[in-house]
A and B are shown apart, each in its own frame.
Chain A
Amino acid sequence: MQLDEFFVTGEPLIYGGMVSIALVTIAILFILTYFKKWGWLWREWLTTVDHKKIGVMYILSALAMLFRGGVDAMMMRVQLAFPNMNFLNAQHYDEIFTTHGTVMIIFMAMPFLIGLMNIIVPLQIGARDFAFPYLNALSFWSFLFGAMLFNISFVIGGSPDAGWTSYTPLAGAAMSPGPGQNFYLMGLQLSGIGTLATGINLMVTILKMRAPKMKMFQMPIFTWSTLITSFIIVFAFPILTVALALMTLDRIFGAQFFTLTGEGMPMMWANLFWMWGHPEVYIVILPAFGIFSEVICTFARKQLFGYKAMVWAIILIAGLSFLVWVHHFFTMGAGAFVNSVFSISTMLIAVPTGVKIFNWLGTLYKSKIKNTVAMMWALAFIPSFVIGGVTGVMLGMASADYQFHNTYFLVAHFHYVLIAGTVFACFSGLVFWYPKMFGHKLNERIGKWSFWFFVIGFHVCFFPQYFVGLDGMPRRVFTIIPEWMPLNIISTIGAFGMGAGFAIFVFCILYSYRYSEREKSGDSWGDGRTLEWATPTPVPFYNFATLPEIDSQDAYVKLKEEGRTTFEEDKLEPIHMPNNTGQPIIMMGFLFFASFGLVFEWMWMAIAFLIAGLIMMVVRSFDYDEGYHVEVDEIKRIERSARGL
């Protein structure tokens, strides 16, 4: 392979990308070296097993991915507003919508939510870390390396271009030769390891490590939604793993699972993909529901209305989410009976979702609302998400879907649920828990600006797409007919509004880092209801000096009433904590290179690094690191200074 086949050549935009990647890398290396930060980076971050730090790294990576996916989106919108300018050609456009979709779902939405879960869930249930801290670090590095593998495709080897759904036969070796599609397969496979491990980890953490006496039905609702999401992950991700592996065998080793030749069944890919894919959309929406519930009851200053109904609704949604997958390919030809069955199951799933909407409205009803930025995101979510849900039900009617399928109507639907649901929740949750994570609040005034730009931009961008879809504009086209122009231009304007909102948000982070007042109490908003607010800020690395006994919902409300804290000096005991370790990043680094080898079908490289990865696993198997104990005196010192005693 020549060097000019290895690097992508001939596109000015991509040369620009290469130059900026090189510059940013050099700048980072320079800063780290100049300020002698390498040791600090390794000790404090790269080898950490602390769930709070891992969560922060997840969120930072997710924000970077939001930026990358966002730039893709802007480029598509520019192309569609000025289709005659030849900003993007057909091939480049295909690559961009593929990477946009994949990055946003797999490398932005999930890691963002998993980051928030990492930080908040152990704090909400009174745990000192995850059940398996080492595994948690492993999960993070698997995600990050998977994401990096996928992201370098646009400068090295060429991006995948068969859509985030990668339908075969298009995505097969016959019609998509070259490394592009392999990047998709290996990037998702690598990061999938981490997602699955996180699912297991969170499940065990929540089931086994709750504060003394905390019952399941006393857990905060975000923890509940995380638990159920973990179940969906554990059950759905293996399907993706297998499907990806089968397609890898097809593409790299000449198997014929999804090919047109040799008894392959190309449609089986669509079937398997959506058996994972539909649960996946619930993986990214259920935690969002949890976040909104926490934010809404905190700032409505009321107990959640219908807590039990809420929990059962989540469980029901999770169960049903495995029974609706066919609604993504009604038009594939399965016939009226099959379609009717899945049409009905799809409409059923809207029922528990509706129940949840009424729970939130019931919580807000007659409450004294505190209008913070976090709350504004949550309030904007309710009506916007309803639009997304209602159009989802329209899409769920199989016969009508023959009209809507793969038009901009569909595009509008899933952006209404994914942005108004997941993305609003990420912003809301980040703003809400920011003081817990970083010791200071985000500036509310700038936050409101970013909110309004983003929300208005969002509606301006996506509402017209319902209509241009009904006018027949198909998704995934790089050029349009004149009738669709006006609405497309409006969409593009909205997209830039959202871009501005995101830019303001980033500015807000930088501004607040410099100017915001540092938090003095652990209960930053003054209205905290759940256990995370009972810890001092910044949270000590062991989280809780003593574990309170829990006997009610909204545990911290009760603690506050009784004047108790999580620092009861007479009950202190040494705390057992895990040691940092460099193994996870090294192991996943090896697997990264193994995957890279497979992408280019360089078997010597894949095999060598796979063996290296296996050796790391053996090393881990015989590793008897028992961790260490934090002594009582040290706990006392840390808590006294954190609580200003």
Chain B
Amino acid sequence: MTDHNKRIPTQHVIGFALSIALTLLAAWTALGSNLSTMWIISSIMILAVIQAGIQLFMFMHVVESDSHNGHVPWNMMFHGAVLAAILVAGSLFVMSFGFTHDHDGENHEQHEQQDSGDHSDMDMEGDGEHEGH
């Protein structure tokens, strides 16, 4: 239980303000700045990591000590990470055929989604009508 007598939860308010600020900054980076795509992606990634850190430390009790159920926040984060891995790796594995979209049918290697920035050809082939395969 947190301290009930404290009227203003300073830490939470700071955390909240910081996360809003970071979100606005990220939105501006993506929409308003003139940075190159590479820089935009890397800077919003960095902002995301900072954001996650703020959430974990200011709201989500990662610094709390062990209880008799083990260290619950770490435990949950571990399972969350496993799930995220399943999600990302699983989707890449399953959808790999959908990322391939060359008309000539020769170059059927897998592209990462980021690459598809320079392939402006996510076309009808990608929608599931793979009669010929």
Contacts and interface: CB of A to CB of B under 8 A. Distances in A.
Interface of A: 169, 207, 231, 235, 239, 260, 262-268, 271-272, 275, 322-323, 325-326, 332-335, 338, 621, 624, 626
23 contacts: A207-B72, A235-B79, A263-B122, A265-B95, A265-B122, A265-B126, A266-B126, A266-B127, A267-B98, A267-B127, A271-B94, A275-B90, A332-B128, A333-B97, A333-B128, A333-B130, A334-B94, A334-B95, A334-B97, A335-B133, A621-B12, A624-B4, A626-B4
Tell me whether chain B's interface is mostly helix, strand or loop, or mixed: helix
Contact of A322 (B83, B93, B128, B130): B83
Nearest to B121: A263
Interface string B86-101: 1100110111111000
A235 B80 CA distance: 7
A275 B87 contact: yes
Contacts of B120: 263
Contact of B91 (A207, A260, A268): A268
A260 B4 contact: no
Contacts of B127: 169, 260, 266-267
B47 to A, nearest CB: 19
Contacts of A626: 4
Contacts of A621: 9, 12
Interface of B: 4, 7, 9, 12, 69, 72, 79-80, 83, 86-87, 90-91, 93-98, 116, 120, 122, 124, 126-128, 130, 133
A549 B132 CA distance: 67
A162 to B, nearest CB: 15
Nearest to A272: B91
B46 to A, nearest CB: 22
A322 B122 contact: no
Contacts of A275: 87, 90-91
A338 B94 contact: yes
A267 B128 contact: yes
B97 A271 contact: no
B109 to A, nearest CB: 14
A338 B128 contact: no
A265 B87 CA distance: 16
A260 B128 contact: no
A338 B93 contact: yes
B83 A235 contact: yes
Nearest to A333: B130
Contacts of A231: 79
Nearest to B122: A263
Which 4 A-B residue pairs are closest in the complex by CB-CB distance? Answer: A263-B122, A333-B130, A266-B127, A235-B83
Contacts of B116: 263
A127 to B, nearest CB: 16
Contacts of A207: 69, 72
A202 to B, nearest CB: 15
Nearest to A169: B127
B86 A267 contact: no
B75 to A, nearest CB: 11
Nearest to B83: A235
A626 B3 CA distance: 12
A76 B122 CA distance: 38
Contacts of A260: 124, 127
Contacts of B72: 207
Contacts of A332: 128
Given A264-B122, A271-B91, A334-B96, 4 more contacts: A207-B69, A265-B98, A266-B128, A621-B9
A262 B122 CA distance: 7
Contacts of A325: 90
A335 B93 CA distance: 11
A323 B85 CA distance: 12
B12 to A, nearest CB: 8
Nearest to A274: B94
A389 B98 CA distance: 31
A77 B35 CA distance: 59
Nearest to B98: A267
A239 B86 CA distance: 12
A271 B90 CA distance: 9
Contacts of B79: 231, 235
A333 B133 contact: yes
Given A263-B116, A264-B122, A322 B86 contact: yes
Given A263-B116, A265-B122, A239 B87 contact: yes
B126 A267 contact: yes
Contacts of B93: 338
Contacts of A333: 97, 128, 130, 133
A331 to B, nearest CB: 9
B124 A271 contact: no
Nearest to A260: B127
Contacts of A268: 91, 95, 98
A326 B94 contact: yes
A256 to B, nearest CB: 9
A622 to B, nearest CB: 8
A332 B131 CA distance: 10
A405 B97 CA distance: 20
Nearest to B69: A207
A18 to B, nearest CB: 38
A322 B79 CA distance: 12
B128 A271 contact: no
B58 to A, nearest CB: 14
Contacts of A272: 91
Given A260-B124, A260-B127, A335 B83 contact: no
A275 B84 CA distance: 11
Contacts of A267: 95, 98, 126-128
A264 B124 CA distance: 10
A343 to B, nearest CB: 13
B73 to A, nearest CB: 13
Nearest to B93: A338
Contacts of B130: 333
A453 B12 CA distance: 57
Nearest to A207: B69
B48 to A, nearest CB: 15
Contacts of B4: 624, 626
Contacts of A262: 122
